[in-house]
Amino acid sequence: MALQSPPKPAAAELPATALYCYGITAVTAAKAQPGAGLGGEAVGTVRCGELAALVSGVPPGTVRARRRDLMTHFDVLGEAFEHGTVLPLRFGIVFDDGRTLVDEFLCPRHDELARLLRELEGLVELRVTAHYREDAILGEAVRENPRIGRLREATRGRAAGHPVMLELGELVSAEVQARTARDARALLERLRPLVRRYELDEEPIAYQLLRASFLVERKRVKTFDRALEKFASENPGRVDVKLVGPLPPHSFVELSHGGRR
C-alpha cells in the first residue's frame, strides 16, 4: 500500500548519532525502561538539570509510521507515566545527536518544561468518544421531524441524483447536526465540572457526537467514569460511548512559542 512506497532518499540522511525523542520527564521519575524503543533500540535518557528526555537510537534507515512504531512511541510514554508525570512529544521527532537535544532544546527550555511538569503533576488525560448508532439517530430524525418523514415517503424509489433527494439529505444532515450539538452540549455540561481542562477534536466525522480529551485529577477519574457511565446508560442502543485512559497528557502540553502546531 501507499505507506510502503519507496523510502525518500532524504530519510537515509539521518546521522548515526540521531536520537529519537519520546517525551520529557523529571530526572527523579526517570526509571529504566523494561521494553525496547523503536526498532528494538534501547530507551535511555539525556539530561539537563531536573529534566530527563526519553530517547533511543534511530533504527537503521529512518523512522516510519507503522502500527508497531506508533504503539511503541505510546508504550514508552505509558511506561514512564507509571513513575511520574511525563510530557509527550508528537510522534516522529528526531535530533541530530544528544548534544543538539540538550543545547538546543532541553537546557534553553528547562524552566518552562519543568514548570509544565509541575503543573501537570497528578493529572491524567481521559479520552472520550461517543458515536450515534446510524439507525437510531436516523430513525429519530424521520419520526420526530415531520418534513423529513414526508419527504422520505415522497422520495422512495427516486434516483440518487434527484433534487428532492438532495433536499431530503440536507434536512437529515441539519437534523443530525442539531441533535449532535444538543447532546454534545448536555454531555459536556456534566463533565466540565469534573475536569481541569478539556479539548474537543475539531473535524466532524459522520455520526460522531463527541471526540474529546479531558485533563482530570487522578483522584477524580472514578467520578468522571461514573458521570460518563450514567450518560451512556441513559442512551442505550442510541449512543456508543468509549473511555480510554488514564493516559499521559498528550493533548495538554504547550510551549510558549515553537510549541504545538
The residues that bridge with 43 in the sheet, in sequence order, are: 56
Minimum gap (Å) between residue 28 Cβ and another protein: 19
Minimum gap (Å) between residue 210 Cβ and another protein: 12
Minimum gap (Å) between residue 171 Cβ and another protein: 8
Nearer to another protein, 27 or 154 (CB): 154
Minimum gap (Å) between residue 175 Cβ and another protein: 9
Minimum gap (Å) between residue 108 Cβ and another protein: 10
Nearer to another protein, 49 or 204 (CB): 204
User: ∠209-214-219 over CA atoms, to 5°?
Assistant: 130
Nearer to another protein, 22 or 44 (CB): 22
Per-residue buried b or exposed e for 183-211, using 16+ beta carbons within 10 Å of the residue's own CB: bbeebbeebeebbeebeeeeeeeebebbb
Whole-angstrom distance, CA of residue 72 vs CA of residue 77: 9
Whether 18 and 57 have beta carbons less than 8 Å apart is answered as yes
Kind plus residue range of the DSSP H or E element containing 247: strand 239-247
Cell of 47: 539530561
CA distance readout (Å), 19 to 2, 54, 79:
26, 10, 19
Q: How many residues does the chain have?
A: 261
Nearer to another protein, 10 or 16 (CB): 10
Minimum gap (Å) between residue 67 Cβ and another protein: 4
Instruction: Give the CA-trace dihedral at 111, 117, 118, 123, to 10 degrees.
Output: 160
